[in-house]
Structure 1
Amino acid sequence: MSAEGEIIHFDNVGLRYGTDREVLSDLTFTLFAGRFYFLTGASGAGKTSLLKLLYLAQRPSRGAIRMFGKDAITMPRRHLPDLRRRVGVVFQDFRLVPHLSAFDNVALPLRVAGHAEKDIAGPVRDILQWVGLSERIDAVPATLSGGEQQRIAIARAVIGRPAMLVADEPTGNVDPDMAHKLMRLFEMLNRQGTTVVVATHDLDLLRKVPESLIMRLDRGRLADPTGALRYPPRKIS
């Protein structure tokens, strides 16, 4: 990471699937540590595709991406898992493992990373309490409400203390009251120093985080690539 707190830099990035036209074009921007970003745009604008580039599920068709001071395009594939572990992801459809309990779903990233079982129980219980689900620790996803599943997905995404959290329409499947609670969770995480990127079509959410910065996609291009995104890093108290 640079001295100025840069964690992500896109330089003239484009993305196409197969031989179709580009779904993302000429993206140049920088994201800074400890900031809260909203990614907005109409349906089909390319929000999910951009998120895939941010959490390295997709490589661009052209351009350069630097993440945490490393070239994410040219680095050997064997090094990508270490980079991906620095990014937590909350998917729109949750993607919880149906036969695992809430505890085991949240513990999964730690087990994949090779943590000893004796070091897993405490952090998992703590984070389930943080999202208000300590009493549902043994519940499987099918017995949980949409809001509860979303909070389990958030807990799983942040259990590894990622430097950046990426969330795709995290309030799309919950009622307004739960949406408000989820945004408070994201704010709490952001205040602890995690960079947060939330993709949403709900413009009301933007007013709920006063210090947030806006990335607006319009048909695969950033509407204001030289505006709010070139914002200095915020000091973390």
Structure 2
Amino acid sequence: MMVSFEGVGLRYGTEAEVLRDLDFTLDKRGFYVLTGPSGAGKTSLLKLLYLAQRPTRGRITMFDQEVTDLPREALPPLRRRIGIVYQDFRLIEHLSAFDNVALPLRIAGMSDADLEQPVREMLAWVGLSDRARAKPPTLSGGEQQRVAIARAVIARPELLIADEPTGNVDAEMAQRLVGLFSGLNQLGTTVVLATHDLSLVKQVPGAQLVRLEGGKLSDPTGALRHPPQRREEAGA
């Protein structure tokens, strides 16, 4: 089990809950496609998954550790086990593609000599070896998205979360990006991909569809499992 949500709800301020009664587990090495209408709460759910937001109620367990009430200083080591691909790329414009991809390794303390090879291998993996020194404003949308993917996975995350990663690219590039995610999943990474494009599900063998609507999850393909009952709840 990679992630477990138990009775999780989320609200902002005094507004009504945007997520309600989320109760599921995500398995290691799973590939989950999260869909639903605009405003359904997909981005809020992803924020809970990459530890940018705490739930209003309920319990979240990740990597065999309960994270709901962890102090802020305990979160960075867990976040380093998660890769995030944003819809709007969030690349640093004054840094080259190479330096954007290298950033997580530098933050982790790796020397320039040690990171040179893995960064170049990652740029080759996403097909951008010849654009290593290019800065984001000179890259196409598809190239920027591939740099963002390379940056998200350079540290070999156990969990990869992608928020509408194909929303700003054409159909051909979308297929290529999903192929990259599928390849990473086959190497052992759990993937959660939020998208409106349900055709992407058919491109990934074993991908499982999860739908979020009105703040609640439905499970049309049987992708999710209910978290195991705790001993105290079972009367043990």
2:131 matched to 1:127?
no
Query: 1:144 matched to which residue of 2?
Result: 139
1:12 paired with 2:10, answer: no
**Offset of residue 117 of structure 1:** 1.7
Partner of 2:78: 83
Instruction: Report if aligned partners of 2:32, 2:223 keep a CA contact under 8 Å in 1.
Output: no
2:212 to 210, 217, 225: 217
Q: Secondary structure at the match of 2:3?
A: strand
- Deviations for 1:140-163, whole angstroms, at most 9, x for unmatched residues? 000000000000000000000000
Is contact 1:29–1:226 with CA below 8 Å preserved after alignment? no
Matches within 5 A, 1:100-119: 100-119=95-114
1:225 is displaced (CA, Å) by 9.0
| Aligned mate of 2:56, from 46, 49, 61 | 61
C-alpha distance in 2 between matches for 1:26 and 1:230: 14
The answer on 1:158 being equivalent to 2:153 is yes
Deviation at 1:228, TM superposition (A): 2.0
Residue 207 of structure 1, aligned match among 175, 180, 202: 202
| 1:45 alignment partner in structure 2 | 40
CA distance in 1, matches of 2:224, 2:218: 11
Partner SS, residue 58 of structure 2: strand
Whether the 8 Å contact between 1:27 and 1:222 is mirrored in structure 2 is yes
**Superposition deviation, residue 223 in structure 1:** 1.6
**1:215 is paired with a residue of what secondary structure?**
strand
**C-alpha contact (below 8 Å) 2:209/2:221 kept by paired residues:** no
TM-score normalised by L of structure 2:
0.93
The CA distance in 2 between the partners of 1:188 and 1:65, in whole Å, is 28
| Superposition RMSD in Å | 1.3
Q: Which amino acid aligns with 1:102?
A: A
Question: CA separation in 1, counterparts of 2:80 and 2:113?
Answer: 21
Report the Cα distance in structure 1 between the residues aligned to 2:130 and 2:26, rounded to whole angstroms: 37
Q: After TM superposition, give the deviation of residue 226 of structure 1 in Å.
A: 10
Partner of 2:171: 176
User: How big is each residue's C-alpha offset from its partner over 1:71-129, in whole Å with a ceiling of 9 and x where there is no partner?
Assistant: 11122221100000000000010000010000000000111111122211110000000
Contact conserved, 2:163 with 2:195, CA < 8 A, in 1? yes
Separation in structure 2 between the aligned mates of residue 124 and residue 226 of structure 1, nearest angstrom: 37
Shift of 1:207: 1.4
Aligned pairs (5 A) from 1:15-26: 15-26=10-21
Distance 1:90 1:191 in 2: 18
The 8 Å contact of residues 32 and 209 in structure 2, kept in 1 or not, is answered as yes
**Contact 2:209-2:220 at 8 Å conserved across structures:** no
1:168–1:200 Cα contact (<8 Å) kept:
yes
Q: How many residues align?
A: 226
Secondary structure in 1 aligned to 2:74? helix
Q: 1:226 to 1:172 in 2, by over 3 A?
A: closer
Corresponding position: 1:96 with 2:94: no
Letter in structure 1 aligned against 2:85:
V
TM-score, length basis structure 1: 0.93
Contact 2:208 2:221 in 1 (8 A): no
Q: Name structure 1 gaps, 5 residues minimum.
A: 1-5, 232-237
